[in-house]
Structure 1
């Protein structure tokens, strides 16, 4: 096969880089909103960037939704008293209800109202605790967080939240960051499907049978994620098989306890995400509004503080790197509501893994 010229390869890399940059920051100006023609031009540019492929019969109705969202985003970003910005993204021609039906999926637990008395400090060896806790902590800086992934049009956020927290504790305990398989959890767990799932119940699969590398792992094992539930193809006799030793809920509605928990490991949480602002979050510290009910599962991987003293959580989402701050959202921390912003501190969930020879202290 003839090798492609170096110039062609350089051009391909440049185009790819420009495409990524465009996805992360899609421009929106006053001129785009001046006329119907300009709005159509904006919509066509947006469709080209996000490779939207839909029946042309619904294009007009989708355009009307896009137009309303674009105008709202533009007016919101003119406000001077907000701590975050919105942006056009791949969800911008969807209503909030349509979006929630396709891209969230956290279902309530049967015993949601049970208060777990488990104290993260009672069993986990924290190097920092209480007033000695650092002002900021980010597990991405300590080799315990994999790349941002994409759940696609499948209500499987529950599987991504579970796997994200298991990837974290496994890396902390073993010193080896592995990219594990959401598809295997989706296929093999009875906790849910693309219509939603119960996050806490999904940990049972990894306790009992284990999980393994996804198709992007090295070497690949479980088939790649396809955003639909398929027949379980997991072979527990084919290594590597990663298991956890247990699971527990953290203190309910306690941001200080969540902070100390995040110092121990990435934490699976459920949040209220059904708001136009959350769906179109682009950058900054998100301070609401949130949705009316818990509908989405994510992973808290750290916390921090801005230069002007605004406290925030660092949250890994599963909507691709094109959303938010390259797939992450910073959410306001230490608020009056005990449940935290969008309920983030209400249902913290931790996978347990007994440490091998390496100690937790090595990662702090």
Structure 2
């Protein structure tokens, strides 16, 4: 990565990850319903207050009034949701405020991540109030934490400094925009994404590198709408029988790509059809292992003919298996090519080249998943795609609360596993083209249920 970009990222991070104590102030925990003592709130609240006051001169800093909070603990970390009233001092200094300002009370919501006694501010949302700490408003939506960073003002001239990198991005990914105004807007989005990518980098405990990708000019909302699959969170598909467990232990490593069971990386385009690619990838492997022929199968058939799922609006692997069985099989990619949008079903049973007999759900134990994969073939899984918008290479290992297994939104294909520098990983075939990640592949930490990789593992059955 360019040294200039690394330097700019580090400069933008300094006021966020810097940690030093502030003077002790009276602390109030006014509602026991929040289940936290004032002592538990002390460290994260002090940190949030220091970040609020960062860069202010003495005599202009706010002080804490009342505070309360909730916490979610996972592994070695804790995620604090705080509400606090801050007392802003009277301002009479013309160099600080244009007009004299009276003392006022501000209500702030903070999200503070604490791990190994270090802190990171994920959210700061403040507005003037009458001094009363009101009802807590944000329950458990972890996807809302980092997006709120986008509301922070960009460092002065940061977009200007990002312009050369943005120009290189446009050239690399052949981007054009309809107007100068749109190009300027995309530059602003790109600059914010550079800050966001570095914050994700700071939270990752693996070897993954995050930065510029072909999605770097998209807002998070656009990326989620165009490339992810919200229906996976519902898990409302048909029930599958449990697969028979594999009694043999998993080999130390395995890779079906080296054994001819995996087709080339495909590209779903701007369509939330990852569920179809995950399932066809699994069926391709099953057909190869049981019939000896590797065929690239049609995802478009599922978009058009699976009437239970929602095509580009998302779907579930369990429903897709049922559709393939009921339709009578899958045509090949050559015969029924991918268009990236729903159209009239054009399936012909006479053209179908493969069929499936059934589908099964796999264990949530990752050792058992590995043993099944090594013996039976690539596996359809679903994951939380946190950070994947900016993933470049390496083994991703996000902090668990930010990549919660309860927020599954992307279906992919497990094709192997192993270790790099003694770090265990899953090798995952994605469907965003070979110009993303490691030639289209994503590597995720193995052994801790990272990003919910073990929560929705399944496979077709070919007899």
Same fold judged by TM-score > 0.5?
Answer: yes
CA distance in 1, matches of 2:451, 2:234: 21
Taking a change above 3 Å as real, the CA distance of residues 84 and 242 of structure 1, as seen in their structure-2 partners, is same
Unaligned regions of 5+ residues in structure 2, if any?
A: 9-156
Taking a change above 3 Å as real, the CA distance of residues 214 and 206 of structure 1, as seen in their structure-2 partners, is same
Kindly report which structure 2 residues correspond to 1:1-364, keeping only aligned pairs within 5 A, or say none.
27-30=1-4, 33=8, 36-56=159-179, 57-73=181-197, 82-105=206-229, 107-108=231-232, 118-121=242-245, 129-131=247-249, 133-190=250-307, 191-208=309-326, 209-215=328-334, 221-222=335-336, 224-238=337-351, 240-251=352-363, 253-263=364-374, 264-273=376-385, 275=386, 277-288=387-398, 289-290=402-403, 293-307=407-421, 309-335=422-448, 340-354=449-463
**Cα distance per residue 1:317-364 (max 9 Å; x no partner):** 0011111111111111112xxxx111010111110001xxxxxxxxxx
State the 1:68 CA deviation: 1.8
State the 1:205 CA deviation: 2.1
| Secondary structure at the counterpart of residue 3 of structure 2 | coil
Give the structure with the larger strand fraction: 2
CA distance in 2, matches of 1:204, 1:59: 44
Scaled by the length of structure 1, the TM-score of the pair is 0.77
| Secondary structure at the counterpart of residue 231 of structure 2 | coil
CA distance in 1, matches of 2:275, 2:357: 19
Larger relative contact order (Cα-Cα within 8 Å, sequence gap ≥ 6): 1
CA distance in 2, matches of 1:227, 1:155: 9
Taking a change above 3 Å as real, the CA distance of residues 35 and 269 of structure 1, as seen in their structure-2 partners, is closer
Taking a change above 3 Å as real, the CA distance of residues 343 and 82 of structure 1, as seen in their structure-2 partners, is closer
State the 1:29 CA deviation: 3.2
State the 1:59 CA deviation: 2.0
CA distance in 2, matches of 1:101, 1:79: 24
**Cα distance per residue 1:114-164 (max 9 Å; x no partner):** 99772432xxxx6xx543x21000110111000000001001001101101
Q: 1:31 touches 1:38 (CA, 8 Å); kept in 2?
A: no
CA distance in 1, matches of 2:317, 2:222: 22
State the 1:84 CA deviation: 1.2
| Secondary structure at the counterpart of residue 349 of structure 2 | coil
State the 1:259 CA deviation: 1.2
CA distance in 2, matches of 1:248, 1:182: 20
Q: Quick check: which has more Rg, 1 or 2? A: 2
Q: Partner of 1:358 in structure 2?
A: none
State the 1:53 CA deviation: 3.2
Taking a change above 3 Å as real, the CA distance of residues 177 and 53 of structure 1, as seen in their structure-2 partners, is same
Q: Partner of 2:18 in structure 1?
A: none
State the 1:290 CA deviation: 2.0
**Cα distance per residue 1:86-129 (max 9 Å; x no partner):** 131110011222201100125248765999772432xxxx6xx5
Unaligned regions of 5+ residues in structure 1, if any?
A: 1-26, 216-220, 355-364
